[in-house]
Amino acid sequence: MKKQTLKLFTISLIAFVIIISVLMYFFSERFTRSWIPIDHGFGDTVTLSPDDEKIVFPFYQSGDGALYQANLDGTEVVQLTYPRQNESHVHPRYSRNGEKLLFLSQEKTTENLKQSLYIMSRDGSELMRLSENKELIIDAIFSEDDKKIYYLGAKSYNSGGVGPKEGPVNVDLYSISVTGENKERLTETESLKKRSLSITEDGKKIGFVQVDEGEEGKTTSNYFVYDNEQKEAKMVKPNKGVISDLIYSGRISPDGSLIAFSAGSANPRKKSQTIYELYTMDINGDKVEPVTSFRTFITEPTFFHQSNRVLFIQDQSWTKGQANFKLWALDLNGERIKSITLQMPQFSGTAL
């Protein structure tokens, strides 16, 4: 009898551990996708040149990501940066005039993350570091006149947290000149996380996603627009159609009238899964419209400058383990969808 009881207890304990592990995995996935190592393939960020003809993106080989430039159709791929071993170059962004690029150099260990801000010419030359050694940069964009850079900086890195409390935390919005001077802190919320920076053509509004811990420890993730003149950020909540506290990423349109965002909802085929589709809404949170129906994970929408289209990234292996990202372009009404296949050259591992 004792043996049977011990056996049942052991089986129950193993089942409990498995269930908790699975729940922690999916909860963590919901908010920390950008910190998952990618062994090989296309990364989860992309930037589009002002003339809509070129893209720059990270591509990984053996866990290290370098930046590449390609035509919009994926042809004529050229390597721009050459990271050291155990280093990846991520989050590229074009300047408004298309002459410069910025990116983050990421070095991750089991206990810490070092992510530094760099700026360079569009061909990869004239590389310059802007951030200090102690700074942990999450995302960055050029200002409307290319004289400043707005960036999200984390106060600390929490290696022992769970879900949104893991990784870079206590994040705020800052600005700095392109020469590395005149650093200014613009928000003082110290939210768990902020990500997905974007800015309007006139520079008056800056958009980002903010993750906070609400009542009873519940974590919410919402879209905010920072008014550069009033110096304050306001939440833009979708009024219907999506679960508004599960926004993963988003971008404000160049004219400031529209927001494209990735938001979570229950999978109609499997209720235990959360899927992330692409939506649009106006600046007040009204006129919410679904754009995709992939039933996977959609992230990183990027507005075209010359047409009513967006680039977006899909994780084709969402809920199945190792990320497998794919790049798409489509009209904002959901039509003229096209996948972009990158014609990658042989990887070169030369140090930066």
Q: Look up the pTM and report it.
A: 0.85
338/104 Cα distance (integer angstroms): 28
- Backbone φ and ψ for 3, nearest 5 degrees, come out as -65, -40
Q: How many residues make up the chain in this entry?
A: 352
Local confidence pLDDT in tens for the 352 residues of the chain: 445 554 554 555 554 444 334 434 333 444 444 444 456 789 889 999 999 999 999 999 878 899 999 999 999 999 999 998 889 999 999 999 999 999 999 987 767 788 999 999 999 999 999 998 889 999 999 999 999 999 999 999 888 777 788 889 999 999 999 999 999 999 999 999 999 999 999 999 999 999 998 777 788 999 999 999 999 999 999 998 777 678 999 999 999 999 999 999 888 877 768 899 999 999 999 999 999 999 999 988 999 999 999 999 999 988 777 789 999 999 998 899 999 999 987 644 433 3
Closest CA to 281 of 263, 298, 311, 261: 261
The pLDDT > 90 percentage for the chain reads 65
End-to-end CA distance of the chain: 66
